[in-house]
Amino acid sequence: MIRYILRRLVLMVPVAFLVTIGVFVLVRISPGDPALTFAGEERDPAAIAAIREEMGLNQPVPVQYVVWLAHVAQGDLGRSFQTHQRVLEAVTERLPATLELGLAALFFSVTVALVVGILSAVKRNSIVDLLSTSITLAGVSFPSFFLGIVLILLFAYVIPGHIFPPGGYVPLAQDVGDNLRRLVLPAITLATASLAVNLRQVRSSLLDVFGLDYMRTARGKGLHERTVITRHALKNALIPVVTLIGIQVGAIIEGAFITEQIFFWPGIGRLAVQAIPSGDYPVVQGVVLVSAFSYMFTTLVVDVLYAWFDPRISYGTASA
Amino acid sequence: MIVGGAMVVAWLLIALLAPVVAPYDPIKVTVGDALRSPSLAHLLGTDDLGRDVLSRVIWGSRISLSVGLISVGIGFFVGVSVGLAAGYLGGKFDLFVMRGVDALLAFPALVLAIAITAALGPQIQNAMIAIGIVAIPAYARLTRGQTLAIRSRDFILAARTVGCTPLRIVTRHVFPNITNALIVQATLSTAFAILAEAALSFLGLGPQPPDPSWGQDVAYSTRYLANMKWWMSVGPGLAIFSAVFAFNFLGDALRDALDPRLRRSG
Amino acid sequence: MRSARYFVAFLGAFAVLLAACSGGQQPAGGGSASPSAGTKATYGGSITFGLENDVSNLDPMLSGLFVDRNIMYAMYDSLVRVTPKGDIIPWLADKWETSSDGKTVTFTLRTDVKYHDGTAFDADSVKWNIERYKTTQGSLRTADLASVDSVTVVDAKTVKFNLKSAFAPLLGALVDRAGMMVSKAVQTAVGADFTLKPFKAGTGPFILTEAVKGDHYTLEKNPNWWGKDKDGSKLPYLDKITVRPITDADVALTNLRTGNAQVLNRINGKDVAAVKADSTLSYLEVGSFSWNSLVPNEAPGFIFSDHRYVKAVAMALDRDEILQSGPAAGIGLVGWGPISPAHFAYDASFKPWPKADPDGAKKLIADVGKGPLKFELLVPSGDAGILQAAQLIKSELAKADITMDLKTQTLNEIVAIQQKHQHLGMTFVGWSGRLDPDGNTYDFVVTGSPNNDSSYSNKQVDDLMAQQRAESDPAKRKQLLLQAQQIYTVDDPSRVWYGFGVSPLITVKNLVGMESYPDRIPRFQAASLQK
């Protein structure tokens, strides 16, 4: 097991390098002049030249990469061109909002998927099952930003009483009630796509397990149907579901870019999206890098857990 | 499968026949007709510049579908070539190429598409390229896996001993054996590509205005949400949904029909 | 962002004297705007100000964005300030005197001012501040203070600015960030963090006590502020201002309506009518200094080097539709040049094309004889309002058979393209505006100036613009400015101006004592919350 983990870690090193190069190159090929962004409306050529010098933009690109990488290794992601704030600080300030939204969405999608998924697997081809399979298909096809807009229209404007606000964020520490009220619509929006995937996974893995020998044995022993489902089927079916939760971290990170934008949720996704039109590269770079690394890390953890749970996985295979 | 296929065909027809079926010019500004709610004259209402929402939805299908198909084409071509080569050649080449694929997979797909499009500049061609790049790993892995599985089978070994060139073996023997899986993957990734294009356009990284684009029109409509001009969002929003749904539906059905082994995970 | 660099050259020494004289009669600290007759200001209360974007930098030396100034005007005082009408008034400087050769300006400072951290504000402090702005590497204030050679401390309350050559516009620069005074003790103690956490660093009516980036900034009442209202009562009235960045104008307005905010300084045009009709809100607006334009950007093969094409575009635009009758109505004033109604040199009768003239434009293009006009407009991405206007303009130009393709790019890219002259068509870029008309005109039309993106060059314009800079009689100066404007907008147009911004100020009804300023920055010192 430890060898497997080590092997995976070693394999991650070149990938991580490629990722940093990719992120760096993406930002470097972007048109526009960072020094001009930094200077705002100031157009004095001397001042701009001084800024360019100070930002190290006069050095050759490979040198800039090495300098940048050295800084990144020390946790220094540079400073925003626009706000001059440290990018790492900007990201860590916004992270709680994103985490709160992401966890809420994850919780929502997993609980609903479990409940509905079990129901539809147990009562196969019933109305519940039909409904859940159609919701699954619809859910993966429904664009999250459109869902968000529909929810805003309904709950913030159309339905009298304006149950939920159209957007905005209040820190948990400041007002718990208001925070939760504002969390509902974005969390549902973010959860829907992964809910559909989860639901499908719960249902199909339960159905698979139902067909297995030991289930027949359990049934044959005369065990109560409920006991069969909870004791035997669910336990085994949960393995892929647990790993799915991990994989969904990716879906939630990318969903956050869109959802935060619609609901004015001040997380890292919105930070990056807002930085794009103004050409604030260090911020975009920072957020993309942070999301890539957290995604890589969770994928690793999930693979390891999966290997742990399921002894059929050979530790020898390089990448799943 | 019939339902999904019919919807896909319907959208393709709408896109092809846009000039015929659209009741109005999608970019013609008529300030006097601004913000009309749906009526017989304008079935889906008009936007703030007096443009017919239905006509914009119809014309918008061209962009969505062409981005979907072209970017999937890019992903398919590059991904399959890389996967075949890696799977067949193996060794250092395989190791090297697959690390590159891993690097692409290290990013959440949409985040990578956003980053690439933002870097290349907000243009529809760049969105296609970005979505195409994001689609590569799925094809590469699928093809490599299947190639590896087939490579050691008897008939390939036989072909090799007869003196077939690697290229010939790959195209004649390996490729035909994975087409079913690839067709399923292509259909499903078209759905993803349409959705991704809509998301990029929503973030302002899609086609140039005033060209009609579903994602962009939904984004543009958000500033009128508080004024309850809901029809500006609903038309293009439902269009995205139904097009993505059509390809997903078709893809699922194809998977069940063509590749029974894959049904398990469905 | 260069702040109002060239203020009141027209008044010269005369105006300076006048302003100095009137200093004693005005309520100190801008209290002239205190509650209207009948309502008496009440002390206390907290309000929230919904700012359009997060601040970038609260160090006046390094700030390059408009949003920053919205907080700075409450926490810092500058040497002089302006009235809503644009007159310079005494602030930290009680009075000032310009030598007869114009090469020295001597400020007499208030003696009752202390920084929020308790250190004294005096001539030494002024000298330190100005030198910091002038000499620190990376300072964005060097251009503002370029005319200043050195600063001499005469005594504790007198400080002398020695200029390289006579430069009356200096005073205008000292209204804004180049004239803002920060505590040396705080700045040196805090170091690099001063950019976002300059707590207790100013002398202003409010003290910055909390800064949570991206969320909120807290300004608490400065009980020892020197300003007084017209009855001699101490200002400010309010206890606390929370500044909260709310980027979306719709969300901000919802916040105002639901009581989560009390002050906003921007609004979408589509909402103006509703806000004006809302009895719980008050809406004030005044024309701003800012203008909007389509800039022909010079590059090899440049279409608009034939200025008749520029003129054709200027003629074909339906300014009324863009700013008054169209979907964006309510957020701008129609205009044909860069001198706005908020400037002294504004000429209300200057309306070269009172109505859109697509036929005239067609004829002009036919006269050029090179076939139809077709070009690309670069539009900054990320702003639906700008996108809306651009699409409207496209449809208007089509009526004159002019094909304009839109291309959205990041603002940063567009600026780079402008600087390097890499674009054959036009760019859609405005100007935030300056107090003095010179700051709205000179750099855009004079040969070789930094913002002259079309590389426009017209000898007559150059001469007139140089003359107005040296002219001390305001009436004559106005004439020179207008003469030049006629040339660079109509006779030999350099770019297409189509309108000015307005500065809206939207507050809840019971928040009184505030006025809208052309620079759109709310002043809170005289604001009070009626019970």
| pLDDT tens-digit map of A65-109 | 998 899 999 988 888 877 777 899 889 888 999 999 999 998 888
Does A275 map to a domain?
Answer: yes
3-class DSSP state of C45: coil
pLDDT reading at C152 higher than 60: yes
What is the mean pLDDT of the segment spanning A232-250? 67
Does A295 map to a domain?
Answer: yes
Residue-wise pLDDT for A12-69, tens only, equals: 888 899 999 999 988 777 777 777 777 766 667 777 787 788 777 888 888 889 988 9
d(CA C116, CA C240): 15
What is the mean pLDDT of the segment spanning C166-181? 85
Q: CA of B164 to nearest chain A CA: how many angstroms apart?
A: 30
State residue C59's pLDDT score: 94
Pairing between β-strand C403-409 and β-strand C374-380 as defined by DSSP bridges: parallel
d(CA B169, CA C45): 82
Mark yes or no for CB contact C412/A42 under 8 Å: no
pLDDT reading at C237 higher than 90: yes
The winner for highest mean pLDDT among A191-205, A249-263, C142-156 is: C142-156
Output the CA–CA distances (angstroms, integers) from residue A82 to A36, A249, C248, C413, C528, in the order listed: 10, 29, 19, 14, 34
pLDDT > 90 in chain A, percent = 15
Q: CA of C68 to nearest chain A CA: how many angstroms apart?
A: 10
Chains contacting C with at least 3 CB pairs below 8 Å? A, B
Burial of C223 (0-12, 13-18, 19+ CB in 10 A): exposed
Mark yes or no for CB contact A145/B98 under 8 Å: no
Query: Given pLDDT bands bounded at 50, 70 and 90, which one contains residue C17?
Result: very low
Residue-wise pLDDT for C31-59, tens only, equals: 444 444 445 678 999 999 999 888 878 99
In chain B, helix, strand, coil percent, each to 5? 75, 0, 20
Of C137, C382, C432, the CB nearest to A277: C382
Dihedral-angle region of residue B178 (phi above 0 means left; psi in -120 to 50 means alpha; beta otherwise) = alpha
Residue-wise pLDDT for C89-110, tens only, equals: 999 999 999 888 878 999 999 9
Mark yes or no for CB contact C391/B28 under 8 Å: no
What is the mean pLDDT of the segment spanning C411-437? 83
Q: Please state the domain count of chain A.
A: 1
State residue C494's pLDDT score: 95
Q: For residue A36, list chain C residues with Cβ-Cβ distance below 8 A.
A: 412, 415-416, 419
- Angle CA B96–B100–B106, to nearest 5: 140
State residue C22's pLDDT score: 35
Which parts of chain B register pLDDT below 50? 262-266
What is the mean pLDDT of the segment spanning C3-27? 33
Is the peptide bond between B236 and the residue preceding it cis, with omega within 30 degrees of 0? no
Mark yes or no for CB contact B103/A145 under 8 Å: no
Dihedral-angle region of residue C507 (phi above 0 means left; psi in -120 to 50 means alpha; beta otherwise) = beta
Q: CA of C377 to nearest chain A CA: how many angstroms apart?
A: 17
pLDDT > 70 in chain A, percent = 83
The torsion angles phi and psi of C111, rounded to 5 degrees, stand at -110, 0
Mark yes or no for CB contact B106/A319 under 8 Å: no
pLDDT reading at C314 higher than 60: yes
Mark yes or no for CB contact C405/B223 under 8 Å: no
State residue C373's pLDDT score: 95
Mark yes or no for CB contact C213/A165 under 8 Å: no
State residue A316's pLDDT score: 44
Dihedral-angle region of residue B90 (phi above 0 means left; psi in -120 to 50 means alpha; beta otherwise) = left
Q: What is the CATH number of the domain that holds A168?
A: 1.10.3720.10
Smallest CA–CA distance from B192 into chain A, residue = A141
Q: Which residue, C201, B126, C86, is CA-closest to A29?
A: B126
Sheet holding C158-163, edge to edge: C93-98, C104-109, C158-163, C148-155
pLDDT reading at C21 higher than 50: no
Mark yes or no for CB contact A82/C56 under 8 Å: yes
Question: What one-character-per-residue DSSP string does C485-524 give?
Answer: HHIIIIIS-SSEEEEEEEEEEEEETTEES----TT-----
Least confident residue range of A297-301, B105-109, C71-75, C304-308? A297-301
d(CA C42, CA C46): 12
Q: For residue C140, list chain A residues with Cβ-Cβ distance below 8 A.
A: 39-40, 42, 47
Higher pLDDT: B166 or C289? It is: C289
Mark yes or no for CB contact B208/C327 under 8 Å: no
pTM: 0.81
pLDDT reading at C6 higher than 70: no
Say yes or no: B244 contacts chain A, CB-CB below 8 A: yes
Q: For residue C390, list chain B residues with Cβ-Cβ distance below 8 A.
A: 209
- Angle CA A144–A148–A152, to nearest 5: 170
State residue C80's pLDDT score: 95
pLDDT > 70 in chain C, percent = 91
The torsion angles phi and psi of A86, rounded to 5 degrees, stand at -65, 130
State residue B265's pLDDT score: 40
Collect all residues with Cβ–Cβ distance below 8 Å to B111 and sequence separation of at least 6.
A253, A254, A257, A288, A291, A292
What is the mean pLDDT of the segment spanning A203-217? 71
Q: CA of A213 to nearest chain B CA: how many angstroms apart?
A: 17
Query: Are A90 and A80 spatial neighbours (Cβ–Cβ below 8 Å)?
Result: yes
pLDDT reading at C352 higher than 60: yes
Mark yes or no for CB contact C1/A44 under 8 Å: no
The superfamily in CATH containing domain B2-9+24-265 is MetI-like (1.10.3720.10)
Terminal-to-terminal C-alpha distance of chain B: 15
State residue C29's pLDDT score: 55
Range of the domain at A109: 95-309
Residues A247, A248, A250, A251: is their CA dihedral positive or negative?
A: positive
State residue A56's pLDDT score: 78
Smallest CA–CA distance from B200 into chain A, residue = A258
State residue B130's pLDDT score: 95
Q: CA of B122 to nearest chain C CA: how many angstroms apart?
A: 7
d(CA C312, CA C496): 10
d(CA C474, CA C483): 14
d(CA C80, CA C108): 11
Residue with tokens 């001469």: C463
